[in-house]
Homo-oligomer: A and B are copies of this chain.
């Protein structure tokens, strides 16, 4: 008989994680760096969306990016190749999330001084990443049209912790059975303050509005500092 259950996640772990996350947030707030944690299912278009957003913003902001994956470095390479910014790949060794301690360790190797914006592309997963505060100022979740409008019903915690939801692949809306109003309504039930941007990383639809939101968040963060 083993005393260890399959997965042990308990209050003390979350409390410790929250403390580490708060330290990260405090440091980045102080230096005026807005930190966004981007989450979604596999294949919802995180990397493509981030590349498009970074290319729209990189002349105005100094941007850093960190990518979490099990063992591949594809995403960080794509971001670096397609945007020219400095990107760090974090291999999490098969875990289904990244927590604040792992983020803190990554920040030891990735100098964020002078960055206006730091983006963390989390691992593609709607369960585990929602459970761990990474120290980001805002959680951004991408829900893509082909996934279906029922995802908020099935992965409620993810949408509860999301400040912003980007509804991606809007160019494919006619092709799939996806009700945008229903999706929004289901998310608002979980988080009444959620903000939505229907986008297409492929066509560019809606991306300027997301950039506007990022710039406003950065202004707000810095105004709080002053």
Contact = CB atoms under 8 A, between A and B. Distances in A.
Given A2-B12, A42-B147, A70 B7 contact: no
Contact of A125 (B126, B144, B146): B126
A205 to B, nearest CB: 15
A193 interface: no
Interface majority SS (helix, strand, loop, mixed), chain A = loop
Nearest to A130: B94
Interface in A93-107: 94-96, 99, 101
A12 B4 contact: yes
Contacts of A101: 6
A114 interface: no
B4 A7 contact: no
Interface stretch (A30-38, A152-160, A209-217): A152-160
A108 interface: no
A179 interface: no
A94 B127 CA distance: 7
Contact of A144 (B6, B94, B124, B146): B146
A9 interface: yes
A83 interface: no
A10 interface: yes
